[in-house]
């Protein structure tokens, strides 16, 4: 089956279903200027002030010990207040308004789904708006880390860090439950911009996988699954249109 035929088949599936759930990863936001994990690793490798991978970068002990370096890297990676939703985020909003999309389950912390207008969303790791003082735990305005060189708490002077770093990348149990409930109700899954294998989701639920990585023959042979390789913004907006 050609790429065009798979696009047509995907559009037909979306027309037929009314309990669609989107599961999104970093690949949906790269066209908004937010790097994925590979992109972040490249940024870190180019830095002369930091030696380590993304998981060391997001270790709260490392951030507290070297806050200047952390925030220098943070503003090149996760903290992008000027980023705007792209056509993929907006296409999901269109589906939600048409009462075809139940909601979005995301692994991203960039807040772009909400900026686009998605109403029902489960954020497994929270988002960049959530920040707290490392000493008194007072919540902080999410814009502060994007403006102050090293943001400090107005209450005690302690260092402010994003919650997903402070929590050592721990997920939020309530968000996980919300996401699992949505996924259990889905009659069609849109798996967009993530390395999560389609086979890790419910086997009896049809799936459309949109990813920038190359589609293998093994992928194409998976039952109930349509693989579409390319930019999420272009592919998803085209299907919805």
205 marked as binding residue:
no
DSSP per residue, 150-174: S-B-TTT-PBEEEHHHHTTTPPPHH
Q: Give the C-alpha separation, 139 to 106, whole Å.
A: 23
Closest by CA to 178, choosing from 93, 100, 97, 105, is 105
On the 0-12 / 13-18 / 19+ scale of CB atoms within 10 A, 152 is middle
136 appears as a binding residue in the annotation = yes
Sequence-separated (6 or more) residues with CB below 8 Å from residue 171: 124, 125
Strand-by-strand arrangement of the 131-133 sheet: 139-140, 131-133, 160-162
Residue 153 assigned as binding residue = yes
Cα dihedral 207, 209, 214, 219 in deg (nearest 10): -10
Contact 208, 125 (CB under 8 A): no
- Cα 222 to Cα 199: distance, rounded to the nearest angstrom: 8
Sequence ranges of the binding site: 133, 136, 153, 156
Sequence ranges of the binding site for Zn(2+): 133, 136, 153, 156
């Amino acid at each position: 089956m050609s790429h065009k035929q798979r696009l047509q088949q995907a559009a037909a599936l979306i027309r037929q279903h009314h309990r669609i759930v989107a599961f999104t990863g970093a690949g949906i936001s790269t066209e908004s200027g937010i790097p994925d994990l590979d992109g972040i690793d490249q940024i870190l490798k180019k830095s002369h002030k930091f030696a380590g991978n993304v998981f060391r970068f997001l270790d709260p002990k490392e951030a507290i010990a070297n806050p200047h370096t952390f925030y220098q890297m943070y503003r090149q990676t996760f903290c992008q207040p000027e980023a705007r939703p792209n056509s993929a985020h907006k296409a999901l909003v269109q589906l939600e308004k048409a009462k075809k999309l139940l909601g979005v389950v995301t692994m991203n912390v960039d807040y772009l789904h909400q900026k686009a207008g998605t109403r029902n969303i489960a954020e497994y790791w929270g988002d960049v708006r959530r920040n707290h003082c490392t000493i008194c735990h007072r919540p902080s305005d999410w814009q502060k880390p994007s403006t102050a060189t090293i943001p400090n708490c107005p209450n005690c002077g302690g260092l402010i860090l994003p919650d997903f770093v402070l929590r050592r990348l721990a997920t939020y149990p309530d968000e996980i439950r919300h996401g699992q409930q949505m996924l259990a109700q889905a009659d069609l899954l849109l798996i967009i911009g993530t390395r999560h294998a389609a086979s890790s989701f419910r086997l009896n639920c049809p799936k459309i996988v949109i990813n920038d990585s190359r589609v293998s023959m093994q992928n194409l042979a998976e039952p109930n699954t349509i693989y579409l390789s390319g930019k999420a913004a272009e592919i998803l907006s085209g299907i919805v249109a």
